[in-house]
Structure 1
Amino acid sequence: MTTSTTAESSASSAAAPLLDLQALVVAVRRRRRLWGALALLGLLAGAALAVLMPPSPTAVTEVLVAHEADQPNDTGTLIRTDVQLLQTTQIADKALRALRSTDKPEDFMQDYRGTGLTNNLLQITVTGDTDAQAVARARALADAFVADHVQRMQKTAQAEAQALLDQRDRMRDELAQVNKEIGNQSADSNPKASASLESLFARRAELNSRISDFDERAADARTGAPQVVAGTQIVDTPHALRQSLPKAVATDAAIGLVLGLVLGLALAAVGTVVADRPVLRRDIAANLGASVVAELPRRTGRPWQRRRTRLTRERLTATLARTTRDSAEPVSLLELGCARSTSVIALDLARAMAAEGPVTVVDGLPGPQSAGRRRRPGDPTVVGAERAATVPPQDRRIGVGSVAPGTAWTDLPYLGTRTVLVVRAGHGSAAWLHTVARQLADQRIAVIGVVLIDPDPRDRTDGTLWDGAHTAPRGLSERPARQPGGGTSHAVQAVGEGRRRPERQPVWAARGPENDQEAR
């Protein structure tokens, strides 16, 4: 039996996903106050930044750049080269000299940028202290770039033409040598010299052709530079950009909103994974080893939801009243993260049972949750836990306590040997829920069910343990304890009627004693 139970627990643990996306989404959605506040903070910060730090005056101009090696299928390599050349200290220094400015070229380079709009169109954006300064900087920078580009193209053309002319001069020197040999051999009447003379004539004709070709190529190289010079020019006069404060505020606010929202969602997701606080009713029931029998919102809610909330409270009160009537042992309500809601449920239960006899509520909650309330006509008697011994034996007792960290576990049986856990979703960690289930089992307190406070409205998981024990399994192998009134403890009884399925070890029982000590 033990081997099969352990095998089933191991199989269920292995089948559990490492990260439950459904629980993560629900937990992040429940922390909407966090990421909503960060999104609002980002929006306000962006708007304030746009107002307190407005953008600097900006001027823009466009330059048409002609390249000697322009190709229709160019992917933008040449214009990207021009953009990088614009971001050089040589161009910046020439622009500063034209402006007669004492700024450093390295500092000036931080105030402008170039953007390649097309393969031959370069946009230059410059900032300054005023609009006039920005326009002057843009003009000086465009002129410096055009001058540098034209100068480089001219130097390239001159270098190419000079190389061709040098080749032509070498050919002319060789032609002169060939002509000299032809003159020397023409005076010789030797038959062998006539054959050599024919080869010299052929060589002279070839040299003349190559010299003519070099002349044409040198001329083409010299005429290529004027086309580049004429094609490179400023096509858009430098002008200041109009800065719209409302537009800047809206843009910065939108950026801040998106960044804040992303940061908030990331923090909420990381916090959810690290904290490991179950939110879904399925996980809470599995960790506590008891089924969820009812759900209540934490707040009253909107006006159209109040009637449904009131009906839910009435059904819960009626269910607890039937359970309390049928029980020969005192029943308690133990809260985790919802002391106020638990005290309200206890008072409603006591009022519902007051017609059948005297009812006393034993308040063991920290602080004046129930005992400190102002009594109204018809309210039950509420006493503190220290006065529980003074309650008359004929009075029906309803205990109210807490299972929050720091609880005196040995005092809980005096509130009631059967209990209903009132748990706020997402309040306790999985380790603490395991601890609560183990401690209640050690104290032989039967868990009738779980009332979930502040559940997620979109939670569609099942909070009923269909194939698990309804109470903590430690009490299954122990004899019922004798109560002072002559009754016996029902910590091992199952709640509900009908055919029971084979019991299986709850999720928390597979953690082992070493994890139990860690949770405590």
Structure 2
Amino acid sequence: MTTSTTSESSAAAPLLDLQALVVAVRRRRRFWCSMALLGLFVGAAVAVLLPPPPTAVTKVLVAHQEDQPNDPGTLIRTDVALLQTTRIAGAALQSLKSSEKPEDFMKDYGGTGLTNNLLQITVTGDSDAEAMARAKALADAFVADHVRRTQEAANAEAKALLDQRDRMQAELAQVNKAIGDRSPDSDPKASASIESLFARRAELTSRITDFGQRAAEARTGTPKVIAGTQIVDAPSAVRHSLPKTAATNAAIGLVLGLVLGLAVAAVGTVVADRPVLRREIAANLGASVIAELPHRSGRLWQRRRIRAARERLTTSLARTVRGSAEPVSLLELGCARNTSVIALALARALAADGPVTVVDGLPGLRLAGRRPKPGDPTVVSGERAAAMSQQELRLGVGSVAPGTAWTDLQYLGTRTVLVVRAGHGSAAWLHTVARQLADQRIPVIGVVLIDPDPRDRTDGTLWDGLHTALRGQNERPARQNGTGGHRQNGPGRQGTERPVWAARVPDSDQETR
């Protein structure tokens, strides 16, 4: 595949692949399930270790002189705000004969407007008796303050109306005096003046009567407000059920932990950019997925399925190595243990054709340092790979993880099978692996995918990669003069010509995969 083709496919790819995102998040189900369980346990532990303090509740019916049927709740919100004032808190503490500061006491209670005229007061304390006493004192202080404010408002309004009435009465006395000082005569102008005075006296008399009635009404409405503002529900302690509280907190913690875990998993998946689907891994490595091997499991039926899949993989790889004119290596990425097991099983299968030597290039001498078992092939370290005879059948095992010595990979095998764990390497590192192998002129036969997603239905085949895919082995190798090396790869392999397609590698920086 050329670089131009890769650029076109990258440009046509969506910015965010939802399928890959869902698969990657589902593969991290252990993480977000653990987060959900952690939230569950933390919520339950909070209910047990941090029980709510003793709480008392009381309800107060609040009457307002400005009550309207269409009131949106402004008046009751004002009452809630007035409840949270140092004046009411100080009055309640004074009735309790407490030396606590009003500012500190205000943190222990709160008000809630249930309706336009019903106020609920919630108070906490060191005990149920103390909480109930504080709630009673607070409710009494609020009722007394509300009544006092109502009376002061009514008295102020009535006083203003009476003052206005008194000013008009004084003006009326002056009008009456002016009428008494004038005697009726035949002068038309004097008659008109007297008539205007009489009209003014009638107007003043009417307004004086009106102001008197309004002052009386202002005082008359106050007793209704005073009588209507009262404690309708005596303070009572709130009973807390520990099982119910623990269950509620656990459910809340479960939901919060699950949401947080899913969010972290999704963000981590997008940021890490670790391909999981077959098509993504094949596209980034530039090689087809030729086989898969499920992750090991403790379940009996899955063990049998994994054993059968491992046997099929060993048979397929053995057929590939027997038909290859060059040494083949297994290079792992994120699955060193599985690669070691696959390499030993493959070496045992090839032992029927002659002696097989496994070259261990894994970090830490995972194979060379192990204790051999009966029937195991010969395992040598990577340092001895260059000194081995070309007549001997060998199978290299190495790694393409970060920190790999790329120039040493050619001593493990001039052709390779990549054993990659799904979701382990980032897209950038897979590109690096493909580029480094191309620079070392090591063709990739295919990819063995470890721990694939069981719900992945994507195709991991690159249909333009016949020069490296296993299906291309059925093509007749072309013979060219002076090409096609005669490398002996074991007993009975003399005179075998290297296929031209197996030696094809990019000649410039314009072809990479």
TM surpasses 0.5 = yes
| Corresponding residue for residue 33 of structure 2 | 36
Q: After superposing the two structures, state which structure 1 stretch, 184-193 or 43-52, moved more.
A: 184-193
Q: How does 1:260-409 map to 2 (within 5 A)?
A: 260-388=257-385, 394-409=391-406
CA contact (8 A) 2:330 2:397 kept: yes
- SS of the residue 1:428 aligns to: coil
- Once the two structures are TM-superposed, the CA of residue 91 in structure 1 deviates from its matched residue by 1.0
- The whole-number CA distance in structure 2 between the counterparts of 1:132 and 1:56 is 12
- The whole-number CA distance in structure 1 between the counterparts of 2:210 and 2:343 is 110
Gaps of 5+ in 2: 470-481, 489-494
The answer to whether the aligner puts 1:12 opposite 2:13 as a matched pair is no
| Corresponding residue for residue 215 of structure 1 | 212
- Once the two structures are TM-superposed, the CA of residue 189 in structure 1 deviates from its matched residue by 6.0
- The whole-number CA distance in structure 1 between the counterparts of 2:335 and 2:511 is 23
- Once the two structures are TM-superposed, the CA of residue 146 in structure 1 deviates from its matched residue by 0.7
The answer to whether the aligner puts 1:465 opposite 2:462 as a matched pair is yes
CA contact (8 A) 2:291 2:313 kept: yes
| Corresponding residue for residue 108 of structure 1 | 105
Deviations along 1:51-90, one digit per CA (max 9) or x if unpaired, are 2222111000000111111111211111111111111111
Q: After superposing the two structures, state which structure 1 stretch, 193-202 or 278-287, moved more.
A: 193-202
CA contact (8 A) 1:285 1:292 kept: yes
- Once the two structures are TM-superposed, the CA of residue 266 in structure 1 deviates from its matched residue by 2.8
Deviations along 1:376-430, one digit per CA (max 9) or x if unpaired, are 4433333332333665655422211111122222221121111110001121122
CA contact (8 A) 2:333 2:425 kept: yes
One-letter code aligned to 1:116: G
| Corresponding residue for residue 477 of structure 2 | none
- The whole-number CA distance in structure 1 between the counterparts of 2:509 and 2:144 is 82
The answer to whether the aligner puts 1:255 opposite 2:252 as a matched pair is yes
Structure 1 residues 161 and 24, CA gap change in structure 2 (3 angstroms): same
CA contact (8 A) 1:287 1:506 kept: no
Gaps of 5+ in 1: 473-478, 496-502, 511-520
Which of residues 120, 141, 166 is equivalent to 1:144? 141
The answer to whether the aligner puts 1:441 opposite 2:438 as a matched pair is yes
- SS of the residue 1:401 aligns to: strand
Query: Normalising by the residue count of structure 1, what TM-score does the alignment of the two structures yield?
Result: 0.88
- The whole-number CA distance in structure 2 between the counterparts of 1:376 and 1:186 is 146
CA contact (8 A) 1:289 1:470 kept: no
CA contact (8 A) 1:175 1:207 kept: yes
One-letter code aligned to 2:210: D
User: Would you say how many aligned residue pairs link Structure 1 and Structure 2?
Assistant: 493
Structure 1 residues 227 and 112, CA gap change in structure 2 (3 angstroms): same
**CA RMSD for the aligned pairs?**
2.8
CA contact (8 A) 2:294 2:452 kept: yes
Which of residues 201, 205, 223 is equivalent to 1:226? 223
Structure 1 residues 346 and 199, CA gap change in structure 2 (3 angstroms): same
- SS of the residue 1:383 aligns to: strand
CA contact (8 A) 1:298 1:341 kept: no
| Corresponding residue for residue 80 of structure 2 | 83
- SS of the residue 1:351 aligns to: helix
- SS of the residue 2:193 aligns to: helix
Deviations along 1:355-375, one digit per CA (max 9) or x if unpaired, are 233322222222343334444
Structure 1 residues 128 and 355, CA gap change in structure 2 (3 angstroms): same
| Corresponding residue for residue 410 of structure 2 | 413
- Once the two structures are TM-superposed, the CA of residue 304 in structure 1 deviates from its matched residue by 2.3
- SS of the residue 2:385 aligns to: helix
- SS of the residue 2:460 aligns to: coil
CA contact (8 A) 2:184 2:191 kept: no
The answer to whether the aligner puts 1:246 opposite 2:246 as a matched pair is no
Structure 1 residues 344 and 395, CA gap change in structure 2 (3 angstroms): same
Which of residues 2, 24, 27 is equivalent to 1:27? 24
One-letter code aligned to 1:159: A
CA contact (8 A) 1:86 1:114 kept: yes
CA contact (8 A) 2:335 2:450 kept: yes
- The whole-number CA distance in structure 1 between the counterparts of 2:153 and 2:503 is 96
Structure 1 residues 374 and 348, CA gap change in structure 2 (3 angstroms): same
- The whole-number CA distance in structure 2 between the counterparts of 1:489 and 1:146 is 102
Q: After superposing the two structures, state which structure 1 stretch, 406-415 or 459-468, moved more.
A: 459-468
| Corresponding residue for residue 473 of structure 2 | none
Q: After superposing the two structures, state which structure 1 stretch, 251-260 or 208-217, moved more.
A: 251-260
CA contact (8 A) 2:438 2:512 kept: no
Structure 1 residues 118 and 480, CA gap change in structure 2 (3 angstroms): farther
| Corresponding residue for residue 60 of structure 1 | 57
CA contact (8 A) 1:447 1:491 kept: no
